[in-house]
Structure 1
Amino acid sequence: MKTFSLRLLLLSFTFIFISASSQIKISGKVSYKNRGIPQVNITLKGTYDGTTSDSEGNFSFETSEKGNHILQFSHPKYIDTEKSLIIENKNIELSVDMKEQISEIDAVVITAGSIEASDRNRATALLSPLDIYTTAGADGQISSALNYLPGVQKVGETEGLFIRGGTGSEAKIFMDGNLINNYFSNSVPGIAGRDRFNTSLFKGNIFSSGGYSALYGQALSGALMLESVDLPDQSSYDFGVAPILLNASFQRVNDEKTHSYGASAGYSNLKLMQEVFNFNTNFHEPPSGFNGDANFRIKTKSGGFLKYYGMFSTDVMGVKMPSLEPDYEHSLINLKGKNTFHTLSYRQKFGRYLLNLGTSYTFNRSDLRFATENQSVKSDETRVLNDGNYLNFKAVLERKINRISAVRGGFELNHAQEELSVQDINKNYSDLISSAFVETDLGFSNRFSAKIGARGEYSSFLRAANFAPRAALAYRLAKDWTTSLAYGIFYQNPESRYVNSPAKLGFQQSQHYIFQLQGNVEGRSLRFEAFYKNYDDLIKVQNVANIPGQYQPVQTAVNNNGNGFAKGVEFFFRDKKTFENIDYWVSYSFLDSKRDFLNYPMTLKPSFASEHTVAVVAKRFFPKLKFGTNLSFNYAKGRPYYDIVSNKGENIIRNEGSLKDFSSLNLSFNYLPNLGKKDAKAFTIFVLSVSNVLGRNNVYGYNFSSSGNFRSAVVPPVNTFVFVGMFISFGVDKTQDAVNNNL
């Protein structure tokens, strides 16, 4: 028995030795572009043998398998790779090159010149609707909130987005891809119009301060692309009450969430606030207006989506100003305006294809009446009546090539019909701009991508065509750092208000060159951007009529001999991480710009361009107190001003100088009494906002008498403005959304 046990033990050791001696070592290195890949799972297919690569991509394991086998390599960021092996009695050493897995999440995004706020790009999300509502000094307006981003100048005396040395008319605004004509309300000279559109109508936006997509045109400086909301989550009823406004709205959605419809109405009047505050502007008829809108949204059985939105608004205002002329005591300006806007859009997927169709119609009337008053005797009125009808249609077809590559193309039609009557000038202006465009997104890897496109346009009024190539590149330098380059040529028709003669005119042109460096790390984002813009074929004008009380004479375009440039650097930093419950951002812009255009007698620094601008925004939310505080500060170095008149057929500068520096400190507070109530079906927010808390006397420019010996400052209607309001939503509790977006 003892002998048998000894033999059995000897036999076991012999078997173990033979088995060990038959183990084959398989080793090697896994790489991507000559760099080792860590954490690659390596498995001999059909067995339990395998290992994981180390920090340098090296691997090693042993197996007793023999014959033909397949070695598998897998990693979430790389395409699975297989290698065929013949395992005999020799160790195996091999090198494997893997290919990067192209992913929409990991792929680098081209962001030169643009800032996106949407669900698709949360990493750099800026200025969501709640961002805009809770930014002190923005007054709930998208255009005002953009003044706290780099590249946008605050020009308080007129409406528009003044981007990187461009005029307000050189930036265009789009809704669901369609051009919005008359985005701002009608206004009188020296007082900027407000946004016509409710901020909550939009779920996101892309703001481009240059180098924007070939899908958009007719803008020399920049573009704001707004994306309207889709189906609401629940039915709701909303009410807003404030000393200057009343509004109410509702949204109904069916149980299956396949369609919804809604409407809203509102009325605003500044009379009560004028009684309370010391206004700089004498409104003999306080600004007031009515607005109403309606919408429906339908999700089709085939997966398509149809959206309609329509609105109507009115504008009424009367201003009385001291006269600079000896012949009369006051200048009187009265405004009556109305606007209607309708847009219909449809999108549908067909396999790898996506079709987007959209159309919009706008009618706008601006009825201005100018008069003078002397010893309470009013002169005859001079009427400036402008009616505009605008029709737009756009079609875009896109095909996916892979997860991050696509090609899209389409066409666009923009028709404008305007009638202008002023003094002895009667003008009928009509133009059809036909456009075609193509663009491709090329994802070469998760580190490198490109966007290449071109746009062509034909104007029936100018009887001319243009071709505008555009390109952008992006490269990931490190995990959280990317760099982008963008170039593009952009064309724009002369503004119709200057087209008052048979002069032969052509397109205005600009070229953009943009470099950007951007980093995003756990709630912090940093952007640095440098740009250069060159302008050619800008419009030159001459004076043809003077209207008492109007800041600018009626002007007419004479040629396209204008030119200019704008260059600068911008810095933006946002931090939601460092301080608990605090979100803040800082932006700085340096701008060097000069132009010879309009009635400028020579190349000058534009009167709307400030050399240095700074903005700081900070938001703090106190969850236990259900209370939020918001602070903003903006500063701009004083802009130049010019008193340009015509002398013997030549324009000369009669007076010039620099305005004092602009600055404004703004505060706002909001209280959310619903916080903490479980299963609440209502949401209430109380808002208190104070603009220009310190009451600084900011000046936007000067008006000069006909002799040039007297001047008056163009100032805000009121130095410090206080807004108090209560907003209630029934049927849906938005409290947690408000809290999450403030943290």
Structure 2
Amino acid sequence: MKTRQQRLLFLITLLSFCLSYAQVKITGRVTFRNKGIGEINVTLKGTYDGATTDSNGKFSFETSEKGNHTLSFTHPKYNDIEKQIVIENQDISVDAELKEQINEIDAVVISAGAIEASDRKRATALLTPIDIYTTAGADGQISSALTYLPGVQKVGESEGLFIRGGTGTESRIFMDGSLINNYFSSSVPGIAGRDRFNTSLFKGNVFSSGGYSALYGQALSGALMLESVDLPDQSSYDFGISPIFLNAGFQKLSGDKNHSYGATLGYSLLSLMQKVLNFNTDFIDAPQGFNGDANFRIKTKSGGFLKYYGMYDTNKMGVRTESLEPGSDYALVRINGKNTYHNLSFKQKFGKYLLNTGASYSYNRSDLNFSGETNTIETDKTQLLTDGNYINFKAVLERKINKISAVRGGFELNNTDEKLKFEEVNKHYQDLISSVFAETDLGFSNEFSAKIGIRAENSSFLNKSNIAPRFALAYRLAKNWTTSFAYGLFYQNPESKYINGPAHLDFQKSQHYILQVQRASEGRSLRFEAFYKKYDQLIKVRNIANIENQNQPVQTAINNEGFGYAKGLELFWRDKKTFENIDYWISYSFLDSKRDFMNYPVSLKPNFASEHTLSVVGKRFIPEWKLGVNLSYTYAKGRPYYDIATKDINGNVVNFTRNEGRLKDYNALNLSFNYLPNLGKKDAKAFTVFVLSISNVLGTKNMYGYNFSQDGSRSSAIVPPINTFVFVGAFISFGVDKTQDAINNNL
């Protein structure tokens, strides 16, 4: 009996032990926005029990644990969640709904109308300093390199960024948030001024061909936002030498690496190249210029940054052309320009707030002289003298709401004081444009975001105000595919050079509508944009030269009754991955634009707008030769030209088109080589680059337009100063090895 009881007790104990370790099944489904999601890690915290969800979001695993436990759900793209469960002897079903984890890396970026090149956009960065220097035909200039992107017209006879049917004066350029007045050097009619600023001064840029941020204003077409470099990695000395210029500079970094200072000097003269190459332009005074700049940068103990940059430059040239008017054999034009620019910016975090402030001052003097020449004797000398002082101040306060949302606001003051003198015309133009703005970035998810802004301006000269709303939306269609839409209202004062008398004028106005589809992956980028721009209140002028005085080339604004439109399609493809050591891009723009503005008698296609523009850029780096080979090609359909008269044969004042036509198509193939003898020498204390650049290799005879005589009976073509230009030069840096930068950027 006792033995039987012992056996029974043993069986009960064994059964209890087995039941205590019986397996319980835990199942469920994990969803995001009501759709099952795979690869979610489901674990019972503190144990080795768990599973991973399948493509439908379902999971299942068994456990022998008992009592109160925590079930966790984790994935890098979603916020972790935990659920409390009680495990007894019955199977358990647990469902979970996850929320997307918001972060700056995965969040969709609004990019309609904008191209950004910065450290934050390395995957699809465009036009970094290395890009600009190695784009054949860009001559190391930022503005020239931008003409190889969609939306920017190839206009060689006048400086400025001609964007999507807009004039060169309808775009603005900013440095560290502050407006740069007179970014381009002074020049004579028919020859475009060059960039005054060294490309290596800037570490990144945002180029907007429309729909730009509310933080910027006074531009009907687009804006270029340049960001200057921070502290250098180490002290260095730089030299550049070529047949047309000499320059030298240094950057000194402190021992604690918290501040630096530097300066450069340069001189350029084209007279030697005139003797070697065959120029179209007869330079009676070879183009020459002197430039110098200085900078300092200070990093504060609290993480703030103070930057200063100042520059001074002079330039002059003289040009002789065949006279179109009776009484002179030749027409002579001389320019003597002076410019100084100073920029001070400060950035600092105060708790959850980021303060960006900047101030700039510039002075520009342009002394333009006209005269005739007969039998080497100069006659009919006239002078157009312009002096301008410009002050800009801007402050922006920003606060992050979460990882991808922020709100910012601030104000801007832009003061202009200009004097103009031309024979009987004396003008003193003063204007203070006061602006306030606010903008918010709203990240609803990694797939959907919005930017909403508003800007208000007041002009003391016009005695008028405006309010400009702007917004943009972005949505991720699929992996690597996004779409953006942008709308904005933009205002701009009439150009001061046309305000030579009393007139009841208003702001010029444009509206932008931009739709973009983009695919971006590592090393490749595809962009498609469609846009529509509507212009209102454009300036209409009359030409005093053909009315009151035949010798005065002065136009004056009379009203804001001008209007117009621009619409088009753009395509951009860049590929740095398919072919080893080859970087190439293709851009195409279709533009349909008409305007009734300035002295146009009716609505016409602007003489600076080409219907079709195609650019191809290719760069091949050959490591074993230490050589970079760069090609670029640009085609643009011939632009229209007009000879617009302001009075008929009876002397009546009336605008009409006296001569018109279309130029031949523009074609240019450019080639450049960059040789790096230091390549591979890791301990090199000097870095050297030899450059050979040939613009318009095939010598195509391109044209930019025509000049006409006062009566329209004679004309002369406006052509580039030279058909094919050859540049050779060497750039040497001591104390810093830039070899790795060259390799990383496929120089």
Do the structures match in fold with TM over 0.5? yes
2:709 is equivalent to residue 702 of structure 1:
no
Question: What corresponds to 2:543 in structure 1?
Answer: 543
Structure 1 segment 152-301 matched on structure 2, within 5 A:
152-301=152-301
Aligned-pair distance for 1:21? Answer: 7.1
Q: Secondary structure at the match of 1:156?
A: coil
d(CA) in 2 for partners of 1:38 and 1:20?
Answer: 33
Question: What corresponds to 1:689 in structure 2?
Answer: 693
Q: Secondary structure at the match of 2:544?
A: strand
**Pick aligned residue for 1:670 from 668, 674, 683:** 674
Q: 1:733 to 1:551 in 2, by over 3 A?
A: farther
2:37 is equivalent to residue 37 of structure 1:
yes
Deviations 1:659-686 (A, max 9, x none): 0000100000010000111211210000
2:716 is equivalent to residue 712 of structure 1:
yes
Q: Which runs of 5+ in 2 are unaligned?
A: none
The residue type equivalent to 2:654 in the other structure is: E
Figure out how many residues of one structure are paired with residues of the other and give that number.
737
The residue type equivalent to 1:684 in the other structure is: T
Deviations 1:469-509 (A, max 9, x none): 00000001111010000000000000000001101000000
d(CA) in 2 for partners of 1:458 and 1:329?
Answer: 49
The residue type equivalent to 1:58 in the other structure is: K
Aligned-pair distance for 1:236? Answer: 0.3
Task: Return 388-397 or 698-707, whichever deviates more.
Answer: 698-707
The residue type equivalent to 2:321 in the other structure is: M
d(CA) in 2 for partners of 1:113 and 1:305?
Answer: 30
Structure 1 segment 404-443 matched on structure 2, within 5 A:
404-443=404-443
Question: What corresponds to 2:731 in structure 1?
Answer: 727
**Pick aligned residue for 1:738 from 737, 742, 745:** 742
The residue type equivalent to 1:663 in the other structure is: N
Is the CA contact (8 Å cut-off) linking 2:25 and 2:91 kept in structure 1?
Answer: yes
Aligned-pair distance for 1:17? Answer: 8.9
Q: 1:564 to 1:56 in 2, by over 3 A?
A: same
d(CA) in 1 for partners of 2:666 and 2:674?
Answer: 27
Is the CA contact (8 Å cut-off) linking 2:21 and 2:64 kept in structure 1?
Answer: no
Aligned-pair distance for 1:466? Answer: 0.2
Q: 1:325 to 1:86 in 2, by over 3 A?
A: same
Question: What corresponds to 1:510 in structure 2?
Answer: 510
Question: What corresponds to 2:562 in structure 1?
Answer: 562
Question: What corresponds to 2:576 in structure 1?
Answer: 576
d(CA) in 1 for partners of 2:444 and 2:297?
Answer: 37
Question: What corresponds to 2:346 in structure 1?
Answer: 346
Is the CA contact (8 Å cut-off) linking 1:115 and 1:124 kept in structure 2?
Answer: no
The residue type equivalent to 2:171 in the other structure is: A
Is the CA contact (8 Å cut-off) linking 1:413 and 1:433 kept in structure 2?
Answer: yes
Q: 1:237 to 1:552 in 2, by over 3 A?
A: farther
Aligned-pair distance for 1:704? Answer: 0.7
Is the CA contact (8 Å cut-off) linking 1:551 and 1:703 kept in structure 2?
Answer: no
Deviations 1:621-679 (A, max 9, x none): 00011011000000100000000010122111000000000010000001000011121
Aligned-pair distance for 1:66? Answer: 1.9
Aligned-pair distance for 1:546? Answer: 6.2
Q: Secondary structure at the match of 2:320?
A: strand
Q: Which runs of 5+ in 1 are unaligned?
A: none
Question: What corresponds to 2:140 in structure 1?
Answer: 140
The residue type equivalent to 1:659 in the other structure is: L
Deviations 1:557-589 (A, max 9, x none): 000000000000000000011111100000000
Task: Return 11-20 or 491-500, whichever deviates more.
Answer: 11-20
2:65 is equivalent to residue 61 of structure 1:
no
Question: What corresponds to 2:103 in structure 1?
Answer: 103
Deviations 1:127-155 (A, max 9, x none): 00000000000000000000000000011
Q: 1:183 to 1:13 in 2, by over 3 A?
A: farther
d(CA) in 1 for partners of 2:303 and 2:630?
Answer: 41
Q: 1:20 to 1:712 in 2, by over 3 A?
A: farther
- What is the CA RMSD across the aligned residues, in angstroms? 1.9
Aligned-pair distance for 1:56? Answer: 2.4
Question: What corresponds to 2:114 in structure 1?
Answer: 114
d(CA) in 1 for partners of 2:473 and 2:610?
Answer: 30
d(CA) in 2 for partners of 1:503 and 1:294?
Answer: 42
Is the CA contact (8 Å cut-off) linking 1:292 and 1:313 kept in structure 2?
Answer: yes
The residue type equivalent to 1:705 in the other structure is: S
Is the CA contact (8 Å cut-off) linking 1:546 and 1:554 kept in structure 2?
Answer: no
Question: What corresponds to 2:85 in structure 1?
Answer: 85
Q: Secondary structure at the match of 1:165?
A: coil
d(CA) in 1 for partners of 2:35 and 2:165?
Answer: 45
The residue type equivalent to 2:695 in the other structure is: S
Aligned-pair distance for 1:51? Answer: 1.6
Deviations 1:218-259 (A, max 9, x none): 000000000000000010000000000000000000121100
Question: What corresponds to 1:658 in structure 2?
Answer: 662
The residue type equivalent to 1:609 in the other structure is: A
Aligned-pair distance for 1:380? Answer: 3.6
d(CA) in 2 for partners of 1:112 and 1:276?
Answer: 46
Aligned-pair distance for 1:198? Answer: 0.1
Question: What corresponds to 1:586 in structure 2?
Answer: 586
Is the CA contact (8 Å cut-off) linking 2:234 and 2:252 kept in structure 1?
Answer: yes
With normalisation by structure 1, the TM-score equals: 0.97
The residue type equivalent to 2:487 in the other structure is: Y
Aligned-pair distance for 1:46? Answer: 2.3
Q: Secondary structure at the match of 2:529?
A: strand
d(CA) in 1 for partners of 2:15 and 2:238?
Answer: 82
Query: Sequence identity, in percent?
Result: 72
Q: Secondary structure at the match of 1:737?
A: helix
Question: What corresponds to 2:308 in structure 1?
Answer: 308
d(CA) in 2 for partners of 1:733 and 1:421?
Answer: 51
Aligned-pair distance for 1:42? Answer: 1.2
Is the CA contact (8 Å cut-off) linking 1:389 and 1:416 kept in structure 2?
Answer: yes
Structure 1 segment 391-540 matched on structure 2, within 5 A:
391-540=391-540
Task: Return 507-516 or 320-329, whichever deviates more.
Answer: 320-329
d(CA) in 1 for partners of 2:67 and 2:746?
Answer: 63
Q: Secondary structure at the match of 2:625?
A: coil
d(CA) in 2 for partners of 1:531 and 1:16?
Answer: 77
Q: Secondary structure at the match of 1:111?
A: coil
Is the CA contact (8 Å cut-off) linking 2:674 and 2:689 kept in structure 1?
Answer: yes
Q: Secondary structure at the match of 1:272?
A: helix
Q: 1:226 to 1:522 in 2, by over 3 A?
A: same
Is the CA contact (8 Å cut-off) linking 1:159 and 1:194 kept in structure 2?
Answer: yes
Is the CA contact (8 Å cut-off) linking 1:189 and 1:551 kept in structure 2?
Answer: no
The residue type equivalent to 1:96 in the other structure is: A
Q: 1:450 to 1:551 in 2, by over 3 A?
A: farther
The residue type equivalent to 2:745 in the other structure is: N
Aligned-pair distance for 1:37? Answer: 2.0
Is the CA contact (8 Å cut-off) linking 2:124 and 2:523 kept in structure 1?
Answer: no
Deviations 1:673-713 (A, max 9, x none): 00111211210000000000000000000001122111100
Q: Secondary structure at the match of 1:121?
A: helix
The residue type equivalent to 1:732 in the other structure is: V
The residue type equivalent to 1:252 in the other structure is: K
Q: 1:368 to 1:47 in 2, by over 3 A?
A: same
Task: Return 316-325 or 16-25, whichever deviates more.
Answer: 16-25
Q: Secondary structure at the match of 2:641?
A: strand
Question: What corresponds to 1:620 in structure 2?
Answer: 620
With normalisation by structure 2, the TM-score equals: 0.97
Deviations 1:40-91 (A, max 9, x none): 1111122222122223221111112222222111111111101111222221
d(CA) in 2 for partners of 1:457 and 1:258?
Answer: 38
Aligned-pair distance for 1:11? Answer: 7.2
Aligned-pair distance for 1:19? Answer: 4.8
Q: Secondary structure at the match of 1:587?
A: strand
